[in-house]
Each structure stands twice: as C-alpha cells, then as structure tokens.
Structure 1
Amino acid sequence: MKTILKTMFLSCGIGLAAPMAHAQKKIIIDDEASNGIVMVTIDKAGDEIIRIMNESQLPYIHDPKAPRFLLMDKQGKFALGIGGYVRATGEYDFGGIVDDIDFIPADIPNSSKIRNQFQMDASTATIFLKLVGHTRLLGDFIVYTAGNFRGGDKTFQLRNAYMSFRNVTVGYTYGGFMDLGALPSTIDFQGPNGATFYRATQLAYTYKGLENFRFNASVEAPAVDGTANNGLEIARQRMPDFTAYAQYGWNGNSHLRIGGIIRSMTYTGADSDKASSVTGYGVQASTTFSMGKKWQAFGQVNYGKGIGQYLNDISNLNVDIVPNPEKDGKMQALPMLGWYAGLQYNICPKVFISSTYSMSRLYSENGYPNDEPGTYRYGQYFVANAFWNVSSNMQVGAEYLRGWRTNFDNSTNHANRFNLLVQYSF
C-alpha cells in the first residue's frame, strides 16, 4: 500500500512539473505520390486534423479519447482514427443488493434473501471509428461510429453512429435533452439516478454565432415505454420528440444550460377505433463551473411529465405513460423529477476525487397507483470515488455507492456497493 501511495504522489509531482501543452506546427508527410494513405501517431498529424479531433471530443468520462493512431491521406486533409478502451470493473454489494450490473436504485428488490453479491464486468469495453476532415463544402466534418458489448449475451451493440458538418448532426447519438459536460465522473456506468441520459436517432443543429453562447435544436426519433392494461396498448408513434437548449459558457470549464423537450405519446384502447395521444414535456437546468484551480462543481435539475424514458432511474420502470385510474380507457403522463449535485477536487493533474448526491422521484396523479402500494416512488443515490490516471492511456479507480428505494407505501430498501476499475485506452 505504501508503494502505491508513493507512486501516486510521484505521479502528482511529475504532472505538476510538466509544462503546459502549447501549439506547434505539425509535419505533414510529403511524398511524390498524390494518392495513398499513411499511418501516423496523433501527435504527427496536421494542425487541422488535431484541432478537429480535439474540438469534437465529447466531455464525458465514458466516451473514448482521441485515437493514438491515424490513417491519413498524404495531404493531411482527411484522417481515420481507430480506437477505444478496454474497461474492467469488480463490484461487491453488501447490506442489500442492486439487481443489475449498474447501480440503479429502482432495481433494489422490495424483498430479497440475498444481501451480498460479487460481480465483474468488461462489457462496457468500447471500440470506435472516427473520420475527420475539412472541405470547402462541408467545413469541419466528423463521421463517427462506436459500440460496446452490452447487447444480449454480451454481443456487440451500436452506441453511436452519426455524421456532423456545418453544425448539423445527423444519426444516432446522445440526445438534446441532456448535458454531457455537466455529468460527474463515476465508475458506475449509468451514473446519478436523477440525471438525464439517452441516445436517439436525430437531426440536430447547433448555432455558435454569438460569443460564449450556444443554441441547439433537434428532431429526435421517439421511444415510449409505458404500462398498459385493460385493452390499452402503446402504439406506433406519430410524432418525433422536439428538444432545444441555450448554453452560456464563461470559460473552458464552466457553463450554464437551460433546455426543454416536448413529445406526443400515442396509444390505442379496445373501446375506441381511433388512436389517442398524451403530451409530455420536460424542462432542464444544468451547470458545471470551476472554483479556483482545484475544485469543480456540477449539477442538474429536470422536471416534467412523461419523460421517464430520459431519467436514469425512472427509465427502468416503463412509466412514460400509465393508465388513468379515474378514466377508463385513458392513459396519462405522470409528473417526475430528477436532480443531482456534486463536487470534484483535483489533487494534482493525475489524481482527483469526487462525490455526488442524486434523487429521482415519481409523483402520483389521478389516483395512480391505486392498488399497487409497492410501486417505486423515489430513489436516492450517493457516490464517492477516487481516480488515478497512471499514464495518458491507463486509469484506475475506486468507488463507494449507496442507494435507497422508497415506495408509495413508504417502505424503503437500500443497497451498498464498492467498485474497482482498471481501464486502458488505445
């Protein structure tokens, strides 16, 4: 243990002593042949390629870093990166369990004889392909695909597949009703239960014409999960989801974002020959900001009706729309709330610690749930962790989690988990 701590402090000293990265002219490979490709490391790519790679890097701890190697044309205008990471975690639950590989308070059993469990997971290991370049017609463009092994029986599953050019994004990627930059760092792959997190096939546009401001609007493919009975059925959806946000940033590590979503959710009933719909909506405020050189704060608040699909905890409950006990043959969208707040302390450039508290809550309306008192009412999520970037490509971490699930009958069950992480990026 003393050797590990000594190595960590030595890493901190080296990180603090290292000079800040500075712009420098990159060498473009010259050759008599105008066609063909060459393989280079990322630091040997042209300035334009490196700029696009860095600017398109998403601010999310579980998103892969820029690839180490690139296939690049000999003029240095186009580059294809192949990369990803191998990620392995060890998990031990005690004093209550979560019935999932991720720490989801909604999945804490109402009653269980099992109070402890051990799990290991490598299914979040990720592989990606990223093509970047710049042309007169498209400007900066990115074509990106990525996946991990979280499909059924740990098969490969697509996680992102999109193209971006001239501030337009088309394809399958993170939704507009969320804020990747305000999410805390967790080993738990899902993260705080009150956060919004989802992916959707979409057409999105981002306007960056005002200094420090960013505006985004998107049209997204709908996904509706509901609970139906007595002849009610979730139908094929007739309308897309519409999202928008405005963001103000005052430095590279600080911003405030206000966003919203509106959606129409279609269902059918046995007593009617026409489809019906329920309108859902959501509003969101999120932020992250630095407090000096060492501290970083982050938080988010989400409130709406019928937005369960987008809230981490509630998305597991199928409650976007539910039967209305007071109106036979009708469904309704329930009010729901999610929020989190946390702090990160950067001990040195290679080591940081953080902690976050989060809550998600489902509200009753029109007597729901009228005859199921054991239905989820709210969940709480607490996490504290430490990360050590052993090298530019390797990260290790340790984490403690505690979760509570409280039902409409006020019964509460809880669970604890300890996580360990080893991750290597390539």
Structure 2
Amino acid sequence: MKTILKVMFLLCGIGFIPSIAKAQEKVIIDDEAPNGIVMVTIDKAGDEIVRIMNESQFRYIHDPKAPRFLLMDKKGKFALGIGGYVRATAEYDFGGIVDNMDFIPAYIPNASKVKNQFQMDASTSTIFLKLVGHTKLLGDFVVYTAGNFRGGDKVFQLRNAYMSFRNVTVGYTYGGFMDLAALPSTIDFQGPNGATFYRATQLAYTYKGLKNWRFHASIEVPSVDGATNDELSVAQQRMPDFTAYAQYGWGANSHLRVGGIVRSMTYTSTLSNHASDVTGWGVQASTSFNLSKKWEIFGQATYGKGIGQYLNDISNLNVDIVPNPEKEGKMQALPMLGWFAGAQYNICPKIFVSGTYSMSRLYSENGYPNDQPSSYRYGQYLVANVFWNVTPNMQVGAEYLRGWRTDFSNSTHHANRMNLLVQYSF
C-alpha cells in the first residue's frame, strides 16, 4: 500500500512540473495584404477568440479539446482551428462477454459458450474543423464539423455539423433531450446504459438572459425504430420531435436541469387505408455539482413512453413503438426508465478516479411481449476507472466494467470488461 501511495504522489508531482519552453507564435503567411493569414498557437490568439473557443466547448470527455493551432485573419476577428485526437483502446472481457466494441448490457448474449474476448479499437479517433469569430450581425458565432471512423468497415463518419450564432443552433449535433455536462468520464465510448445520448439535425434556441438560468427549446428531425410484423411497419415521419429544458447553474461547474420531449411516431397497418400515429413523451432531471475541490457528484433520471431511441441500452432494441397484442393492427409506446449516479474524486490536478452505477428498464404494457420471454427487460452497468493526464495533450486510463442483462423470463446474464486507454489530442 505504501508503494502505491508513493507512485501516486510521484505522478501528481510530475503534473506540477512546468513545461520547459512555451510554444511561440509561428507566422506561416505574413504579407502586407489586409486579408493575410497567420498561424498561431491558441495561447497567442486574441482574448475574444479564446473566450468564444472556451464558451463553445462541451463538458464531455469524448468531445475534442480546443485546437492547439489556429489560422487567423490579420485583424484577429476570425479563427479556424483544426484538431482532434488519436484514441486507442484495448479491451478484455471475462466471465461473460458483450458482443460489441462498446459495453452495452443489451448485447450480452442469452447463451454463449465463449466467456472471454479480446479487442482493440482506434475507430473513435476524431478530426474536427472549428471556425469562430464575432460580427455585429451574427454576434459570437461558431461553425463546427467533426467525425470519427465508426462508419461501416471503419470508414469516416460525420458526428457533428452545425453553426451557432446569437444563441441559435442549426445543423446536426447533440440533442436537446440530454445533458452532456452530467455524463461521467468513461473509457467505454457509449457510457452508462441508462443515460440519454443521441444526435439529431435540429433548429434550437437557448436563452441566457437571466443570471444563473438557461432555457432551451428545439425542433429535431425524428428517428423512429419499431418492432414490426407482417401487418405493421414504421412509416415516414410527419412531425418533428420537440424538446425543451430549464437549467439553473451555480459556481464554476454546478447545475441542475429539468427537461422534456414530445414526439409523434407514424406507422402503417395492412388493416387500415391510412397512416396512424402514436405519441411519445419523456421527462428528465440531471445534475452535476462540486461537493468540494476534490469531489464531484453527477446523475440523471429519465422516464417516458416511446423514447427508446434516446436511451443508450434500449436504443439497440427497436422498441420506440411495438405491436399492441390486445388491439389488432395497432401499435403502442412502451414505458421505459433510465438513470445513473456517480462520483469523481480528483487526486491531484492530473489524476482522477470515478465510479458510476446505471440502470435501463423496459416495462410491459397490454401484454407485450406476450410470446417473447427472452426479450430484454432491464440492464445494469457498473464502471470504475482512473485517468492520468500525462501532458496537456496526452491522457491514459484504466477501467473496469460489469454488466447484467435480465430478460422478461427473469433469467440474468452478465459480463466483465477491462479497458485500457491511450489518447493524444492535437
């Protein structure tokens, strides 16, 4: 035990050693033309550019940090950052496996002879372009695109593509029915199975005119997956999803948020000559707050009907709408619940540990699933990890995960996983 403590204090001490030499401003193109371009490190950018970069940064461990280098115009009003990170993980499952690169309890097999599994992954490595600036017409504005290699056969896949100005956001980005700042730090790319997480093409507005308060509303392109049969099928959607939240913040990184979503899901039946709709809805409460300089507490709880698309575990089950066994030719939205709670302890400025427990649950209604006892009923997710920021740009970590999947037959299957991480941001 004494040896472990000595190693931890040594690592913390390394984090305090200042860099020997700071990056200097580098001029790549420098001429007398008013539209000339200069390349600078972000610490050499103007105060306005740095402020917009920081304020537009999401508090989410898998979101790239601000770029190290910027292309700026001569007046310092516009800056284009190019950055991202290379991320490599090694994963080993034992005592049961999850049949996926991410740790998703819904993908724990009902029966498998294989109890161990080794995987490595670099497909979540991310590249982004970020343009920021300030004008009289647009105010502070951000244009952002990012992607990783999680497409089929590890091809490049768009993850974000949006523009933001005067508190309006237009494009493809994180949805309004979630809270990035409340999510825990995990090596597992998906995170807690009971968390809400999704992206959508949207038009959103955020009001920040009241001290400590933030109000947000959005209309989003819906994505609906359902369990179908020979009589029923999911149709083209006729209405957007509507989301809203109110958030109260205090201190540097503490907040409480309450939000909701309403959606209309369209389907067709061979027993009817017109399309029909099922209404889905959800409510959510989330928080993240500092108990002290060392301790941070976070959590989220979500409940609703027909919101499976947004809950990490249930989004893999195609149960936004399902057949109603008691009404032939009709579909229904099932009740569902997701929640997580956790804590983070900052050992020193460069090292922290965290732990989170999460649950996701699908409820039966009107006899569904009457003939599918092996269908997913609920999943549990437990994670504990440690992260070390070796340098401002390099992070390593280790993580233990345990998951349980329980079916409507009450049979339970479990899996364990160890994760190792090396990530370098640029």
1:268-293 deviation per Cα after TM superposition (whole angstroms, max 9, x unaligned): 00011100000000000000000111
CA drift at 1:9: 2.8
In structure 1, the residue corresponding to 2:391 is in which secondary structure? coil
- Corresponding residue for residue 416 of structure 2: 416
Asked if structure 1 preserves the Cα contact closer than 8 Å seen for 2:265 and 2:279, the reply is yes
Cα distance between partner residues in 1 of 2:26 and 2:8: 35
1:225 paired to 2:238: no
- Corresponding residue for residue 22 of structure 2: none
Cα distance between partner residues in 1 of 2:258 and 2:269: 36
Asked if structure 2 preserves the Cα contact closer than 8 Å seen for 1:343 and 1:355, the reply is yes
- Corresponding residue for residue 243 of structure 2: 243
Runs of 4+ in 1 over 2 A off after TM superposition: 2-11, 13-19, 26-33
Q: So what's the TM-score if we normalise by structure 2?
A: 0.96
Cα distance between partner residues in 2 of 1:418 and 1:14: 26
CA drift at 1:33: 2.7
Letter in 2 for 1:369: P
Gaps (5+ residues) in structure 1?
20-25
Deviates more, 1:225-234 or 1:202-211: 225-234
- Corresponding residue for residue 207 of structure 1: 207
In structure 1, the residue corresponding to 2:226 is in which secondary structure? coil
Cα distance between partner residues in 2 of 1:99 and 1:128: 30
Cα distance between partner residues in 2 of 1:3 and 1:286: 39
1:345-377 deviation per Cα after TM superposition (whole angstroms, max 9, x unaligned): 000000000000000000000000010100000
- Corresponding residue for residue 179 of structure 1: 179
- Corresponding residue for residue 75 of structure 2: 75
Cα distance between partner residues in 1 of 2:371 and 2:38: 67
- Corresponding residue for residue 311 of structure 2: 311
Cα distance between partner residues in 2 of 1:32 and 1:44: 20
Cα distance between partner residues in 1 of 2:185 and 2:93: 20
Letter in 2 for 1:385: N
Asked if structure 1 preserves the Cα contact closer than 8 Å seen for 2:15 and 2:391, the reply is no
- Corresponding residue for residue 322 of structure 1: 322
Letter in 2 for 1:85: Y
Cα distance between partner residues in 2 of 1:210 and 1:401: 41
1:135-177 deviation per Cα after TM superposition (whole angstroms, max 9, x unaligned): 0000000000000000000000000000000000000000000
Asked if structure 2 preserves the Cα contact closer than 8 Å seen for 1:269 and 1:275, the reply is yes
In structure 2, the residue corresponding to 1:153 is in which secondary structure? helix
Cα distance between partner residues in 2 of 1:290 and 1:258: 19
1:104 paired to 2:96: no
- Corresponding residue for residue 381 of structure 2: 381
- Corresponding residue for residue 35 of structure 2: 35
- Corresponding residue for residue 354 of structure 2: 354
Letter in 2 for 1:143: V
- Corresponding residue for residue 394 of structure 1: 394
- Corresponding residue for residue 296 of structure 1: 296
Cα distance between partner residues in 2 of 1:373 and 1:174: 35
- Corresponding residue for residue 135 of structure 2: 135
1:372-425 deviation per Cα after TM superposition (whole angstroms, max 9, x unaligned): 100000000000000000000000000000000000000000000000000000
1:24-68 deviation per Cα after TM superposition (whole angstroms, max 9, x unaligned): xx9999964311211111111111000100110100000000001
- Corresponding residue for residue 122 of structure 1: 122
Cα distance between partner residues in 2 of 1:205 and 1:32: 41
In structure 1, the residue corresponding to 2:102 is in which secondary structure? coil
Q: So what's the TM-score if we normalise by structure 1?
A: 0.96
Cα distance between partner residues in 2 of 1:127 and 1:18: 28
Asked if structure 2 preserves the Cα contact closer than 8 Å seen for 1:258 and 1:285, the reply is yes
Letter in 2 for 1:410: N
List aligned pairs for 1:148-187, cutoff 5 A: 148-187=148-187
Asked if structure 2 preserves the Cα contact closer than 8 Å seen for 1:30 and 1:75, the reply is no
1:191-215 deviation per Cα after TM superposition (whole angstroms, max 9, x unaligned): 0000000000000000000000000
Cα distance between partner residues in 2 of 1:209 and 1:18: 39
Letter in 1 for 2:236: R
1:279 paired to 2:276: no
1:371 paired to 2:346: no
Letter in 2 for 1:76: G
Identity of aligned residues (%): 82
Cα distance between partner residues in 2 of 1:271 and 1:161: 41
CA drift at 1:325: 0.3
Cα distance between partner residues in 1 of 2:11 and 2:248: 35
- For the structure 1 residues 269 and 324, does the alpha-carbon distance in structure 2 shift closer, same or farther, using more than 3 Å as the test? same
List aligned pairs for 1:53-68, cutoff 5 A: 53-68=53-68
Cα distance between partner residues in 2 of 1:6 and 1:221: 53
CA drift at 1:10: 3.3
Q: What RMSD in Å do the two structures reach over aligned CA positions?
A: 1.9
Letter in 2 for 1:342: G
CA drift at 1:251: 1.1
1:268 paired to 2:261: no
Gaps (5+ residues) in structure 2?
20-24
Cα distance between partner residues in 2 of 1:414 and 1:11: 35
Letter in 1 for 2:230: N
